[in-house]
Amino acid sequence: MVASSTFKQELLLREYGRNVQNIVQYILTVEDRAKRTQLAQLLVNLMGRLNPNVKDIQDAQQTLWNHLYVMSDGQLDVDAPFALSAMEYLNDKPQRVDYPTQNPKYKHYGTNLERLIDKAKQVTDPQEREAAIISIGKLMKVLYRTYNKDSVSDEVILENLRELSRGELDLNPALLEKGNLFESNVKAPQGPGNNFQNNNQKYKNNQNKNQNQNRGKNK
C-alpha cells in the first residue's frame, strides 16, 4: 500500500494537533521568503516541544523539518537547514517477521532454557558439566514454582532435565540424597495476595505483643 500525502498528513495531525496545521497553512500564505523561513524555524521549535519523543530519534531536527514539509503537502518553500523529504520511507514494504515454528516441550521452562541445555551438552569437562547441570536445575525449579505456584522435588526437576536433554544430562543420585540440591536464593515474585498475608501476619503479631504488654502492666 502506498502511503498517500493525505494519509501522512492525518498521522501528523494527530501527533501535533489542528493548531499546528493551521499555522502551517498560514506560513504558506506569507510572501516574504525570509519571513517564511523564520516562522518555519519557530514552528519546528514548537513542534519539538509538543512532541518531545522526537528528541530520542536520530537526526531529530531533520525529522521535524520533514514533518513540517509533509504537513504543507510539499508546498513549503523556505531556506531549510536540511534537504526536505516527503517521508517516502512510509511507502517501503515492511520486512517479514520470522515467527518460531517450534513450541517448547514445557511452557513453564521456555525455549531459552532448552538452548541452555543444548549449550550444557557441549561441555566436556566433568566438573564444569556437573556445575552447569546444577545451575540449570536451580533455574528450572524457580521457573516451575513461578508458573505452577507449587513445590516440586529435585527428583522431578532432574527427570525433566533428563527428558529435555534426551538423556545426555544426568547427575549422580547420591547428590540428590543430600537434599535441596536445586534450591536457589532467587525467589518467585510475590503477588498482592502474598503481601496482604504478610501484612496481616505482622498486624496479628503486633496485636499479640500489645496484649502481652497490657497484661504485664495489669499485674
How does pLDDT run across 33-54, given as a tens digit for each residue?
A: 999 999 999 999 999 888 888 8
| The model's pTM | 0.44
**Per-residue confidence (pLDDT) for residue 29, from 0 to 100:** 93
CB hemisphere CA count around 145 (13 angstroms): 17
pLDDT at 60 over 90: no
- For residue 122, give every residue at least 6 positions away whose Cβ sits within 8 Å of its Cβ, in sequence order, or none: none
Residue 192 has pLDDT above 50, yes or no: no
Q: Burial code of 60-82, b = ≥16 C-beta within 10 A, e = fewer?
A: ebbbbbbbbbbbbeeebebebee
Q: Which of 125, 144, 214 is nearest to 184 (CA)?
A: 144
pLDDT in tens, 112-141: 899 999 999 999 999 999 999 999 999 999
Mean pLDDT of 85-91: 67
